[in-house]
């Protein structure tokens, strides 16, 4: 008798949205061997897989890629409600962050990853501190991530310890977890960081061909005050002058980047990560996503932290993005369905250099199954429209990361969710005393 091939999963009878260059939709099968996709097509591979999954009634998509997160801020969800960004930060968030630790960061990250995986996210870009705790959660959970220790400070002396910690995190964790965990560098933002500090962090990222993460033009005040300080230069203008646009960049928010900024980054290895719910909740505004796309700027989707969102659900975020752009431009034809799926599932992964976001042989096996049996998928005339406009994350029946099933039919596979929740609750109770 033929022995089943180890780490081989056959997904049968699926409707597969490949998101390849031809936007093909395949009714058939996917063979996963190890951590990569080996076959996609109508034929049924004649091998004995270790696991067979009958996906009848399910749609298969690439997993969501969350381009901007602060995982430990799960601990701060509900803090500082109804405040503008700077008051929210200085009055509520910063004082609570002063009480955090690696142990708390681990618990916040684990619960955040659980929420992400249950809602279909397979990769994320995180910038924060207490990165040892975050890295432990990433490795334990199996999620794919680009992690960076956030650096701020107006002088090199002020930032020296943070820069050294960022280098330590890179040396310790880059390439860990069988390559699922990559480490980059990050600057909190122009308004919290001096130019020489920004220059240094940009140089470190370039020297290592690492991703640079930064908050960019999140609020109008941030954008305009930067121009006053620097003779008309915008935050992206400053970043360019300091060598920050010469490598891979994830620019979070971009609500107020102007036409000149868009020309500056179009065609470069810069991904603007729009976070519509966070920007709405903090009263920051609405990013001109459609305008960026029309000018050739790469745009991905992020949630931001749970303290300002307050969920980590990219399916919901994708719907906000589409509706806001249609309303803002007064054009229902913008942000078509496939474009929204690419922004949410493909562009973030590509911005991080991850070989995912497309269902094709050779690509990493980061996939989700969406169950169409709920009333939200009737009538059965346009399933992908239902995913964008009527489905909810409860319709996600499976999340696969790196060829391993992380979530299936309501159950997290990589940890005892109830134990994590109980530990988190006890830790949060102490934090708020």
CA 125 to each of CA 52, 322, 337, 433: distance values in angstroms, whole numbers, following the listed order: 31, 22, 24, 31
Both structure tokens of 332 = 């229902």
d(CA 329, CA 338): 19
Identify whether 407 is preceded by a cis peptide bond (ω within 30 of 0). no
Residue 286, classified by CB atoms within 10 Å of its CB into exposed (0-12), middle (13-18) or buried (19+), is middle
Residue ranges for the known binding site for substrate are 97, 149, 188, 218, 304
Residue in this structure with the two tokens 């597969």, named with its chain if needed: 16
**Helix residue ranges per DSSP H, 39-142:** 85-87, 94-97, 102-118, 131-141
Per-residue burial over 180-196, b = 16 or more CB atoms within 10 Å of its CB, e = otherwise: bbbbbbbbbbbbbbbee
Q: Count Cβ atoms below 10 Å from residue 22 Cβ, excluding itself.
A: 7
Annotated binding residues for Zn(2+), as ranges?
68, 70, 215, 304
- Of 166, 117, 120, nearest to 137 by C-alpha is 117
Binding-site residues from annotation: 68, 70, 97, 149, 188, 215, 218, 304
- How many whole angstroms separate alpha carbon 173 and alpha carbon 306? 24
The neighbouring-strand residues paired with 16 are 26, 60
Rounding to the nearest 10 degrees, give the CA dihedral for residues 110, 33, 397, 424: -10
Residue 273: its H or E element: strand 270-274
Cα 86 from Cα 101, distance rounded (Å): 23
CA dihedral 102, 104, 105, 109 (to 10 degrees): 140
Euclidean distance between CA atoms 16 and 32, whole angstroms: 14
- DSSP letter at 335? S
Place of tokens 């490795």: 139
CA dihedral of 141, 142, 144, 150, whole degrees rounded to 10: 40
The Cα–Cα gap between 257 and 247 comes to 19
């Amino acid at each position: 008798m033929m022995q089943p091939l180890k780490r081989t999963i056959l997904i049968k009878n699926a409707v597969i949205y490949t998101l390849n260059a031809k936007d093909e939709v395949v009714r058939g099968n996917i063979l996963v061997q190890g951590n990569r996709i080996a076959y996609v097509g109508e034929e049924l591979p004649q091998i004995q897989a270790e696991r067979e999954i009958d996906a009848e009634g399910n749609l298969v998509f690439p997993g969501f890629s969350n381009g901007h997160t602060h995982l430990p801020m799960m601990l701060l969800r509900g803090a500082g409600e109804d405040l503008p960004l700077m008051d929210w930060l200085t009055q509520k968030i910063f004082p609570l962050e002063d009480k955090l630790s690696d142990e708390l960061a681990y618990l916040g990250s684990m619960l955040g990853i659980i929420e992400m995986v249950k809602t279909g996210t397979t990769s994320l870009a995180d910038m924060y501190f207490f990165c040892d705790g975050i890295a432990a959660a990433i490795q334990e959970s199996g999620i794919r991530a680009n992690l960076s220790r956030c650096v701020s400070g107006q002088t090199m002396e002020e930032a020296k310890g943070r820069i050294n910690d960022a280098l330590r995190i890179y040396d310790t964790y880059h390439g860990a977890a069988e390559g699922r965990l990559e480490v980059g560098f990050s600057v909190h933002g122009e308004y919290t960081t001096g130019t020489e500090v920004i220059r240094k962090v940009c140089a470190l990222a370039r020297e290592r061909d690492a991703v640079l993460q930064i908050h960019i033009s999140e609020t109008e005040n941030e954008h305009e005050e930067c121009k006053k300080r620097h003779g008309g230069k915008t935050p992206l203008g400053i970043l360019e002058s300091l060598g920050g646009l010469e490598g891979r960049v994830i620019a979070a928010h971009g609500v107020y980047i102007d036409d000149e900024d868009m020309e500056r980054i179009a065609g470069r290895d810069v991904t603007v990560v729009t976070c519509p719910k966070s920007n709405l909740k903090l009263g920051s505004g609405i990013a001109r996503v459609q305008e960026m796309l029309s000018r050739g700027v790469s745009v991905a989707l992020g949630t931001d932290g749970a303290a300002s969102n307050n969920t980590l659900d990219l399916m919901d975020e994708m719907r906000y993005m589409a509706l806001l752009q249609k309303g803002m431009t007064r054009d229902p034809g913008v942000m078509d369905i496939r474009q929204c799926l690419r922004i949410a599932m493909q562009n973030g992964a590509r911005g991080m250099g991850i070989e995912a976001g497309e269902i094709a042989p050779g690509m990493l096996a980061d996939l989700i199954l969406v169950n169409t049996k709920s009333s939200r998928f009737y009538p059965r005339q346009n399933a992908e429209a239902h995913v964008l406009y009527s489905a909810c994350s409860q319709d996600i029946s499976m999340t696969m990361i790196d060829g391993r099933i992380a979530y299936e039919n309501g159950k997290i596979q990589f940890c005892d969710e109830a134990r994590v929740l109980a530990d988190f609750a006890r830790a949060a109770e102490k934090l708020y005393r």
